Chain A
Amino acid sequence: MEAFSNELNYILLLPLLAVIGILMARRWPNVREGVSIITGILVFYFTWRVYQQVAQNNIVELKWLEILPGLSLHFKVDALGAVFSLVAGFLWIITTLYAIGYMRGHDEKHQTRFYSCFAIAISAAMGVAYSENLFTLFVFYEILTLSTYPLVTHAGTDKAKEGGRTYLGILISTSIFLFLPAIIITWVVAGTLSFSQGGVFTTSTSTILMSFLLILYVFGVGKAALMPIHRWLPAAMVAPTPVSALLHAVAVVKAGVFSVLKICVFIFGADALQNLEITQWLIYIAGFTILMSSLIAMRQDNLKKRLAYSTISQLGYVTLGALLISQSAVVGSTLHIVMHAFGKITLFFCAGAIYVAHHKTQVSEVDGMGKVMPLTFAAFGLASLSIIGLPPLGGMWSKWFLMLGSLDSGYFSMLIVLSISSLLNIVYLLEIPARAFFKPAPENARLEEAPSISVLAIMITSLMCIAMFVYASDLHQFLLEAGLGS
């Protein structure tokens, strides 16, 4: 049954069509950005339709073609994918708005290449979200890596190229050496790569092999940035801020943790994962990542670097939830993908706004800037609170469920890790608006915000942080009804 396969086709192909439009309109910037925004709105509309179909428990499936017997490009939407694609689709529109202000305000070169690669990356992220099997997921995962490389090295400086090389080097080598072999072994052992409820392995599969595979998967999905495979994320911060915001806070990294979540739930399955000895060690590594990267974040003076380490820490939450595998933990992980997306993208938007309006990149430089950019720093504070997990902001719910999940699975230690991490978040995130509002303002300070279209984007995402506090229950219900983590 292939219901609503057209929507999937549109979601995957429209961004690629947009690339052609963007290239053709390269001489008329307004038309070019118009193409991006219209495509974004259309894509979002279709992701919304898909989401509703999934909410009604309809099967949304699309089979492109079978490359080799058993290896096909095949899409099938589940609750996880519907949520992820919805968030990515929505934030693409907002980021494009923001990027218009940022890229023009900053007079960046190669803007056509920028918007083209962006569209390809979004299409790839959608492919990851909807994939029915590991092969499809892998294909789009790799497209995502390659299409974001020109975005990371956008500045073209030696520093950008070095960052790009680290980025590509780590992501490609982990996926070739760990992820791909894991997929091949899964194929040979289980005979299928389809995501299936309860996992694909039979009970007779040796636990040693499965432990080995789990390690390969968890570290092989380099985009999930579990320590020690995290170095690429700070390196990617040389990219223009809209890239860091959408890709390295939402699409790319979330594609990583999303893959880990899918693999844990639908390749291994809850029962198998809980019975593996190795799972608890990986849980400890995730806990270590959460705390360690928060500590590193505290020591970063560069604002974007600090946010990058904060992202690594928050990605650790999702990986942790995936490994804990209890129902609340998986729901918490999925919610965290959403909540963190809105929070972190706001933070990055703010960092970019500060840079584009005042060319400040360091935390120590923002003293008293609250008078200059009140809206930006208010949004920053709001988003920080959401990431910390305080009510009335969306971030509270995901932490709530993750903590519940830790207790369900009997990991009291992880409850403590999550609490300490919240404290650390307060220290390194709230410091920034505190400095801005409470330190004395520089002389000749007058109101000067970033380009208004960028400020608009910041407003939307920060208000979403509040809105998600209210709508979290809908999302929660959706996840439960769509049969997640049973």
Chain B
Amino acid sequence: MISHLPILQVIIPLLGAPACLLLNRPNLAWLFSILVSVLTLITSIALLMQVQAQGTISYMLGGWEAPWGIEYRIDFINAFVLVIVSALGAITLIAAKDGISKEIAEPKQPLFYVSFLLCLAGLLGITATGDAFNIFVFLEISSLATYTLIAMGDDRRALWSSYQYLIVGTIGATFILIGIGLMYMMTGTLNIHDLAERLPAVTASNAVLASYAFILVGVALKLALFPLHFWLPNAYTYAPNIVTVFLAGTATKVAIYLLIRFNFDVYEISAPQFKYMINMVFITLGIMAVIIASWTAIYQTNIKRMLAYSSVAQIGYMILGFGLDSVSGLQASLLHLFNHALMKGGLFIALTAVALKLGKVELDDLNGLAKKMPWTFAAFVIGGLSLIGVPLTVGFVSKWYLVVAAAEQQQWYIIGFVLLGSLLAVIYIWRVVEAAWFKPPKELQNAAGNVTATTSREAPVLILIPLWILILANIYFGIDTRFPVSISQQAAQLLFGGA
């Protein structure tokens, strides 16, 4: 059993999905999918412990030896990402019952859980597998499920944003496929470990460079790297709230993982000039993402959209860490990957609670709402502080590593931009805090019978529990930083030592 953990990680949710369809009752499907996601989480934690105990795990699918059969290869990097993804999946699902009750018609609700589990399986598959073509397959599974999930939003624009994401996602996936194809042409293997060993021999060829470029752009589309981020705000805004929580915490994270895997593990760029150029591209795009997306976020009146732009900015920080091309830079990226999942997951769940009461999350509607939903908005404040990067929250830890990594290379201007990004975050978070906590409620101004005029109380417990799990994690890991710091350090060292 223990030795089969790597495949169980993917198989459990993959088989859970059709089982959910057979149950076909919303509450049953919900309970069942929680069971599945908790099992998945346990598996991922067990895997991480196993990796810590005995190093990289290699699992041969069906017993076929590596270069020919499909290999699942778990090391520090993907074990870490697996835990993040499955933990967020489980936490999101707890909130899902109340979260989707208003947004998705009851007959469609079982389908929601089916797509959710498929999406989870796809994301976990991308992360766990050690086979390039397998990555593409799981990428398609997760993407198709994501399109379905987004299209379930109750706003008609959800269909359009799902379609937009479908087009962009397909282009991205095709690019990745082309890249993989070119690599296969040059090396005759699809196994990532094998590729990493064989590529250096042919690294000078244009075909390899082209495949690198294709994969880079394809993944950049999936992870919404500025300026290829245009699909993300729409998708996040119009998707059902719970889906946004899940996507914000996982989908882009897995794409970041792919970029790490390809950029630091598979391709070993030897030409220093080319390397320098790529790093500069990462740094420039990262800075632009941080500044421009944060700036845009300030002007959004829809809070979901605002946080979506903020997500684009946070991805910028992670890419910035790549561009520094050092152990501490990469460690900052990995830390931020973990931390951003905690803070954005928390913030989006808080919005789910608000949307459940108001139907939408426009800034003006939030006035004075904190008096009625103190727990929800207290959580929002803490999550927001973490996003800003205030000490004692996780946000500080990753920004500190990023800034120190920049200082190590005397790239002082990066520090300036990182701090500017924090300041912009103060502004856009504070607008919400001020509206919710310090403005008088304006229910009298609404026409009688309006939804906002109802005596809305605190959010349901099943939303508050996952919300506060994430928020307390923001504080806990901001104070006791040993777990994320040690894992990310080992992962970063592994990538630089092994590559």
Contact of B423 among A65, A135, A173, A188 (CB under 8 A): A173
B65 at the interface (CB under 8 A from A): no
Whose C-beta in chain B lies nearest to the C-beta of A153? B438
Whose C-beta in chain A lies nearest to the C-beta of B433? A149
Q: Are B419 and A180 touching (Cβ within 8 A)?
A: yes
Q: Are B392 and A188 touching (Cβ within 8 A)?
A: no
Within 8 A of A (CB), among B340-364: none
How close is B455's CB to chain A, nearest CB, in angstroms?
21
How close is B304's CB to chain A, nearest CB, in angstroms?
24
The CA-CA distance from A233 to B392 in the complex, in Å, is: 27
Given contacts A67-B397, A67-B481, A68-B481, contact A156 B407 (CB under 8 A): no
Given contacts A68-B397, A187-B404, A188-B408, contact A181 B480 (CB under 8 A): no
Whose C-beta in chain B lies nearest to the C-beta of A138? B391
User: What A residues does B404 contact at CB under 8 A?
Assistant: 184, 187-188
Within 8 A of B (CB), among A186-215: 187-188
User: What A residues does B485 contact at CB under 8 A?
Assistant: 68
Q: Are B438 and A139 touching (Cβ within 8 A)?
A: no
A229 at the interface (CB under 8 A from B): no
The 9 closest A-B pairs by CB, nearest first: A188-B407, A139-B391, A176-B423, A176-B419, A184-B403, A172-B426, A176-B422, A153-B438, A173-B423
User: What A residues does B419 contact at CB under 8 A?
Assistant: 176-177, 180-181
- Name 6 extra pairs, CB < 8 A, besides A67-B392, A181-B415: A67-B479, A142-B390, A156-B438, A156-B440, A161-B434, A172-B423
User: What B residues does A150 contact at CB under 8 A?
Assistant: 437-438
A185 at the interface (CB under 8 A from B): yes
Q: Are B392 and A139 touching (Cβ within 8 A)?
A: yes
The CA-CA distance from A161 to B430 in the complex, in Å, is: 12
Q: Are B400 and A68 touching (Cβ within 8 A)?
A: yes
A-B contact pairs, 7 of them (CB 8 A): A65-B479, A67-B391, A150-B438, A156-B438, A156-B440, A176-B422, A184-B404
B69 at the interface (CB under 8 A from A): no
Whose C-beta in chain A lies nearest to the C-beta of B389? A176
How close is A26's CB to chain B, nearest CB, in angstroms?
13
Q: How does the 8 Å CB contact mask read for A274-297 relative to B, with 1 for contact and 0 for none?
A: 000000000000000000000000
Show the binding face of B for A, using Cβ within 8 Å: 390-392, 397, 400, 403-404, 407-408, 415-416, 419-420, 422-423, 426, 430, 434, 437-438, 440, 478-481, 485
User: What B residues does A153 contact at CB under 8 A?
Assistant: 438
Q: How does the 8 Å CB contact mask read for A117-144 relative to B, with 1 for contact and 0 for none?
A: 0000000000000000001001100100
A71 at the interface (CB under 8 A from B): yes
How close is B40's CB to chain A, nearest CB, in angstroms?
31
Show the binding face of A for B, using Cβ within 8 Å: 65, 67-68, 71, 135, 138-139, 142, 150, 153, 156, 161, 164, 168, 172-173, 176-177, 180-181, 184-185, 187-188
The CA-CA distance from A454 to B391 in the complex, in Å, is: 38
The CA-CA distance from A350 to B478 in the complex, in Å, is: 44
The CA-CA distance from A79 to B272 in the complex, in Å, is: 55
How close is B298's CB to chain A, nearest CB, in angstroms?
13
The CA-CA distance from A70 to B289 in the complex, in Å, is: 31
Q: Are A184 and B407 touching (Cβ within 8 A)?
A: yes
How close is B429's CB to chain A, nearest CB, in angstroms?
11
Contact of A161 among B415, B423, B438, B480 (CB under 8 A): B438
How close is B295's CB to chain A, nearest CB, in angstroms?
15
Whose C-beta in chain B lies nearest to the C-beta of A136? B391
Q: Are B400 and A71 touching (Cβ within 8 A)?
A: yes
How close is A116's CB to chain B, nearest CB, in angstroms?
13
How close is B12's CB to chain A, nearest CB, in angstroms?
36
The CA-CA distance from A150 to B419 in the complex, in Å, is: 24
The CA-CA distance from A121 to B27 in the complex, in Å, is: 47
Whose C-beta in chain B lies nearest to the C-beta of A172? B426
User: What B residues does A177 contact at CB under 8 A?
Assistant: 419-420, 423
User: Which of the listed residues B391, B407, B437, B478 has the most CB atoms from chain A within 10 Å of its own CB?
Assistant: B391
How close is B215's CB to chain A, nearest CB, in angstroms?
34
How close is B405's CB to chain A, nearest CB, in angstroms?
11
How close is A169's CB to chain B, nearest CB, in angstroms?
9
Whose C-beta in chain B lies nearest to the C-beta of A142? B390
How close is B111's CB to chain A, nearest CB, in angstroms?
44
How close is A153's CB to chain B, nearest CB, in angstroms?
6
How close is B390's CB to chain A, nearest CB, in angstroms?
6
The CA-CA distance from A68 to B331 in the complex, in Å, is: 13
The CA-CA distance from A135 to B479 in the complex, in Å, is: 13
Whose C-beta in chain A lies nearest to the C-beta of B408? A188
User: What B residues does A139 contact at CB under 8 A?
Assistant: 391-392
Whose C-beta in chain A lies nearest to the C-beta of B391? A139
User: What A residues does B390 contact at CB under 8 A?
Assistant: 142
User: What B residues does A142 contact at CB under 8 A?
Assistant: 390-391
The CA-CA distance from A139 to B478 in the complex, in Å, is: 13
Q: Are B397 and A185 touching (Cβ within 8 A)?
A: no
The CA-CA distance from A181 to B404 in the complex, in Å, is: 11
The CA-CA distance from A172 to B408 in the complex, in Å, is: 26
User: What A residues does B437 contact at CB under 8 A?
Assistant: 150
How close is B453's CB to chain A, nearest CB, in angstroms?
21
The CA-CA distance from A138 to B396 in the complex, in Å, is: 12
User: What B residues does A68 contact at CB under 8 A?
Assistant: 397, 400, 481, 485
How close is A154's CB to chain B, nearest CB, in angstroms?
10
Given contacts A156-B440, A172-B426, A181-B419, contact A65 B480 (CB under 8 A): yes
User: What B residues does A176 contact at CB under 8 A?
Assistant: 419, 422-423, 426
User: Which of the listed residues A161, A181, A187 has the most CB atoms from chain B within 10 Å of its own CB?
Assistant: A181
The CA-CA distance from A139 to B407 in the complex, in Å, is: 21
How close is A359's CB to chain B, nearest CB, in angstroms?
24
How close is B423's CB to chain A, nearest CB, in angstroms?
5
The CA-CA distance from A187 to B401 in the complex, in Å, is: 12
The CA-CA distance from A177 to B404 in the complex, in Å, is: 16
Q: Are B391 and A135 touching (Cβ within 8 A)?
A: yes
How close is A12's CB to chain B, nearest CB, in angstroms?
14
How close is B419's CB to chain A, nearest CB, in angstroms?
5
The CA-CA distance from A466 to B389 in the complex, in Å, is: 46
Given contacts A135-B391, A172-B426, A176-B423, contact A181 B438 (CB under 8 A): no
The CA-CA distance from A67 to B437 in the complex, in Å, is: 30
The CA-CA distance from A161 to B426 in the complex, in Å, is: 16
The CA-CA distance from A480 to B481 in the complex, in Å, is: 40
The CA-CA distance from A45 to B284 in the complex, in Å, is: 55
How close is A395's CB to chain B, nearest CB, in angstroms?
36
User: What A residues does B392 contact at CB under 8 A?
Assistant: 67, 139
The CA-CA distance from A429 to B276 in the complex, in Å, is: 64
The CA-CA distance from A161 to B438 in the complex, in Å, is: 9
Whose C-beta in chain A lies nearest to the C-beta of B381? A146
How close is A145's CB to chain B, nearest CB, in angstroms?
10
User: What A residues does B397 contact at CB under 8 A?
Assistant: 67-68
Q: Are B416 and A181 touching (Cβ within 8 A)?
A: yes
The CA-CA distance from A176 to B434 in the complex, in Å, is: 20
User: What B residues does A185 contact at CB under 8 A?
Assistant: 407
The CA-CA distance from A156 to B392 in the complex, in Å, is: 29
User: What A residues does B430 contact at CB under 8 A?
Assistant: 168
User: What A residues does B440 contact at CB under 8 A?
Assistant: 156
How close is A95's CB to chain B, nearest CB, in angstroms?
23
The CA-CA distance from A71 to B391 in the complex, in Å, is: 11
Whose C-beta in chain B lies nearest to the C-beta of A187? B404
Whose C-beta in chain B lies nearest to the C-beta of A68? B481
User: What B residues does A187 contact at CB under 8 A?
Assistant: 404
The CA-CA distance from A185 to B408 in the complex, in Å, is: 10
How close is A460's CB to chain B, nearest CB, in angstroms?
33
The CA-CA distance from A181 to B391 in the complex, in Å, is: 14
The CA-CA distance from A426 to B437 in the complex, in Å, is: 43
The CA-CA distance from A454 to B162 in the complex, in Å, is: 64
User: What B residues does A188 contact at CB under 8 A?
Assistant: 404, 407-408
User: What A residues does B391 contact at CB under 8 A?
Assistant: 67, 135, 138-139, 142
Whose C-beta in chain B lies nearest to the C-beta of A64? B479
User: What A residues does B407 contact at CB under 8 A?
Assistant: 184-185, 188
User: What B residues does A164 contact at CB under 8 A?
Assistant: 438
Whose C-beta in chain A lies nearest to the C-beta of B401? A68
User: What A residues does B478 contact at CB under 8 A?
Assistant: 67
How close is B367's CB to chain A, nearest CB, in angstroms?
12
